[in-house]
Amino acid sequence: MKLNNKILLSNLVLSVIIFLITSIGMYYLVNDTVYDELDNHLIQHKIDLMNQVQGDPASVGQVQELGGLGSYEWIDIYPYEGEVKLNANNFTTLDTTRNPDEVSSEAYRRLATTISVNDRYYTVKIYEEVAAWQNISMTILVSVLAGLLIWILLLYLLNQMVFDRILTPFYDTVDTLETISDPTDFEEKFPDSTTYEVKVLNDALNTMLNQVRSSFEDQKKFIQNASHELLTPLSIIRQKAEKILSNADNCSQQTLRAASEIQQTTVRLSRLSNALLLISRVENKQYELDEQIDINAVSNEVLEELDDFIKLKSITVEKDFENDITIQGNKELIHSAIYNIVQNAVKFSPERSTIHIQTNAGSEQEELVVSDQGPGIPDELKKSLFDRFKKEQDHLNKLGKNNGNGLGLSLVKSICKLHGFGYRAENKNGSGAKITLQF
């Protein structure tokens, strides 16, 4: 979840909690206010009644007979019997009926008090129906809460616009970081920002990337120089070993064995140096990418070069080149990438198995797929298969001794990145691995 959404969600949850607490508080506040107003209304009825009977004491009998002040109010008045303290005003909410013949009761607010007429006390109970006042209470409460809810929603939308604007520099930084796969992909600095935290972040990233870029450039130069400088002494050592082997009659078996091991080691080191040198040149973009390349033709060339290796293991190669694919790039590098993929397929395939090579030309993407019937890709290597020097010895030894240096698929990765091609490795359903180049 994005930082913006987390902040907004936190604010929204907090607003909802505040809204619920406020709703409860508003309910009791409005309810108390309405009941206070209702009590004042009942007191006013008492005052009106007192004014009426003091001006006309005989009207007490009329009030007792009529028993009402209006459609929603009614009154009981009878001689004082001591159930209410003199001059006290007792308020009660109760469910009762106005007439004995009524079936259902209604909620009423009752004022129980006393009045004095000609030095004689009367108990007075004034009733007023609560429903009308509750309707007023609910109307006020709903109106206030609806206004508060609308304010929360408007505040949420406003916060969303404000946070989007405030966090735009931060998301720009994140988007830029996501496009960087190695230091050579980033040429421009992260821009300054008026937001202090984003400015500190961008400055730290600029410093870090400059250091990483510098170290990366130094590493590439070292690898390139070391690989180049090693080729000459390795060639000399190899020649010396071959000279010893060519003069086998004058050497002991121990010497010949040592010379053979030296020759094999120098050959392996020469291949390693050449691979590192090629990767370094690819990463430094020292190749032109302006040739038109027929993928089917290059694949056939690779198969011809590996024909002896394929026949040695009695492997059957099935080709499906019904789709012609022509791309623009560097033919030497594309040849090297396909060569390494097919060579790996042959290397890891058991004897008398089948390798399938296919070109697909869909409406959206063209691709070359090489699949084998080998042991497949171990789980621990799936994410790092295209990294340098990644090979699992136990896995390789299942098919015999392996002379690989762990740079073949790393070279494929570098070549694909230089051309802007995709690459994918996966296990087939059943057994074997499948390598796909996406043009």
392 and 337 in one domain?
yes
Residue 390 banded pLDDT, cuts 50, 70, 90: low
Residue 338 banded pLDDT, cuts 50, 70, 90: very high
CATH code for the domain of 366: 3.30.565.10
Instruction: Name the least confident of 65-79, 132-146, 241-255, 420-434.
Output: 65-79
| pLDDT, tens only, 266-276 | 877 777 777 77
Contact between 173 and 205 under an 8 Å Cβ cutoff? The reply is yes
Domain of residue 430 covers 291-438
Report how far residue 16's alpha carbon sits from residue 377's, in angstroms, rounded to the nearest whole number. 51
User: Which of 125, 142, 159 is where one domain is finished?
Assistant: 142
123 and 217 in one domain?
no
298 and 215 in one domain?
no
Contact between 127 and 108 under an 8 Å Cβ cutoff? The reply is yes
User: Which of 238, 259, 283 is where one domain is finished?
Assistant: 283
221 and 309 in one domain?
no
433 and 299 in one domain?
yes
347 and 228 in one domain?
no
260 and 349 in one domain?
no
Token digits of residue 8? 């907004």
| Residue 107 lies inside a defined structural domain of this protein | yes
| pLDDT, tens only, 402-416 | 455 567 788 888 888
| Residue 83 lies inside a defined structural domain of this protein | yes
**Which single residue is written with the structure tokens 């990366």?**
216
295 and 278 in one domain?
no
| Residue 210 lies inside a defined structural domain of this protein | yes
Three-state SS letters, 294-343: EHHHHHHHHHHHCHHHHHHCCCEEEEECCCCCEEEECHHHHHHHHHHHHH
CATH code for the domain of 207: 1.10.287.130
CA 47 to chain centre: 70
User: Which of 100, 118, 142 is where one domain is finished?
Assistant: 142
Residue 97 banded pLDDT, cuts 50, 70, 90: confident
| Residue 175 lies inside a defined structural domain of this protein | no
CATH code for the domain of 106: 3.30.450
pLDDT, residue 354, reads 92
Tally of domains within the chain: 3
| Residue 57 lies inside a defined structural domain of this protein | yes
348 and 271 in one domain?
no
3-class DSSP assignment, residue 382: coil
366 and 266 in one domain?
no
pLDDT, residue 398, reads 46
299 and 269 in one domain?
no
334 and 403 in one domain?
yes
Q: To the nearest whole percent, how much of the chain has pLDDT over 70?
A: 87
